[in-house]
Structure 1
Amino acid sequence: MIDAIDRRAARKADRRRAILEVAERSFTERGFANTSMSTIAAELGGSKTTLWTYFPSKEDLFAAVLDSKIAAFQQALDEALIPEGGTAAALTRFGRVVLRKILSRDSMALHRLIVAEVERFPALGETFAARGPDRSRARLARYLEEEMAAGRLRQGDSHLAARQFFALCQSGCYLDRLWRPRMVEAADPDAEVAEAVDIFMRAWGPARA
């Protein structure tokens, strides 16, 4: 009996993963507006009724696609912010995780999709922001607040500081690659993170006596 339940659960999990893979490809290639539950069901070889048992709407399906992409990323961010090496070392690890993620081909495609669709579908932007950038900035802000309390950073608005650090990390090769998908990858992401950390620590490091 238990084996039968486990097999059903495994089949359901496999089916859910298959749906998310097809949906991600469809959203990326066709855009949100031109993707329908019918087209996804047709690619999967099933019915819309079956698809709806997993995801009640296209919006719910899009949110699930985002969650599937972000879960491992959020764990990597947590692991980057360990105390080892001090504040600058933690920020360097964090920045490298962020930049490698957002420079990946699938992340770039997703960001372009959001920008293209958000005027017609404002909820799309809200869903993405809440599950991605907002959550990542909030995680960094909590860390910065702890560093401020410990005197390793100067006192200030930790959420503002987090925004500034993300902006520094995204100011170079990320913007170049976002708008120029065929550009030659000449920039060094790790070097850009190092520069971002240096500037950030100059602005937010503890005051010297």
Structure 2
Amino acid sequence: MAERSFLDRGFADTSMSTIAAELGGSKTTLWSYFPSKDELFAAVLDSKIAHFQEELDGALIPTGGTEAALSRFGRILLRKIMAPSSLALHRLIVAEAERFPQLGRTFADRGPDRVRARLARYMSEEMEVGRLREGDAAIAARQFIALCQAGCYLDRLWRPGIVQGVDPDAEVAAAVRSFMAAWGPERP
């Protein structure tokens, strides 16, 4: 209910009173769980991200090698961020972050930063065993995520309602090929 309220009204126009009324409970009860609208928004983000984090962790298992793990990770990432509710949330954050900087920080801390950090840990492990070139794992993680998002995600984000003929699986496959060309192990 709170998520829907934020997405429908925006952060600025969503009030704790309105959410309490929609839930059919008292404002006092809602305030006892969430002392501020910021904390309620953070809880909404946490609920959306928890299962996603587990899926990403499961993708980064060594089965099939580095390319297979990155392919799994990329497909899960694109499926999540291209979901209509995720696109709506991203648009909301972009629209409101200038007026409410804590909103952008909360989103970044709980979403993209966690995803990048998890991928960077995996890449660091792959670098240590020689399956990826040595380098800054955080940069490698940012680059891989950017490659995954470069095509169909950005089209969908900025052109709502237009369904592109782009295949997200093909986008991820291209991202993995490009990434491995740059970060794959050096050939003898």
Please report the TM-score for the alignment, with normalisation by the length of structure 1.
Answer: 0.89
Indicate the residue corresponding to 1:125 in structure 2: 104
For 2:67, the aligned partner's letter is: A
Alignment equivalent of 1:204, drawn from 161, 183, 186: 183
Matched, 1:140 2:119: yes
The question of 1:194 aligning with 2:176 is answered no
Residue matched to 2:152: 173
Bigger radius of gyration among the two: 1
Q: Tell me, yes or no, if structure 1 residue 60 matches structure 2 residue 28.
A: no
State the partner residue of 1:111: 90
Counterpart residue type for residue 100 of structure 2? F
Deviations 1:93-151 (A, max 9, x none): 00000000000011001000000000000000110001000000000000000000001
Work out the number of aligned pairs and report it.
Answer: 188
Where in structure 2 are the equivalents of 1:53-92 lying within 5 Å?
A: 53-92=32-71
Runs of 4+ that moved beyond 6 A: none
Equivalent in the alignment of 1:24: 3
Q: In the alignment, is residue 35 of structure 1 matched against residue 14 of structure 2?
A: yes
> Helix, strand or coil for the counterpart of 1:72?
helix
Aligned residue number for residue 6 of structure 1: none
Matched-pair identity in %: 75
Deviation at 1:182, TM superposition (A): 1.0
RMSD of aligned residue pairs (Cα, Å): 0.6
Matched, 1:96 2:75: yes
CA shift, 1:53, in A, is 1.3
Q: Per the alignment, in what secondary structure is the counterpart of residue 156 of structure 1?
A: coil
Cα distance in 2 for residues equivalent to 1:180 and 1:25: 21
- 1:62 is paired with a residue whose SS is helix
Corresponding letter in the other structure for 2:60: L
Say yes or no: does 1:162 pair with 2:141: yes
One-letter code aligned to 2:12: A
**Structure 1 stretches lacking a partner, 5+ long:** 1-21
Alpha-carbon distance in structure 2 between the residues aligned to 1:78 and 1:49: 38
Per the alignment, residue 153 of structure 1 pairs with 132
What is the match of residue 17 of structure 1? Answer: none
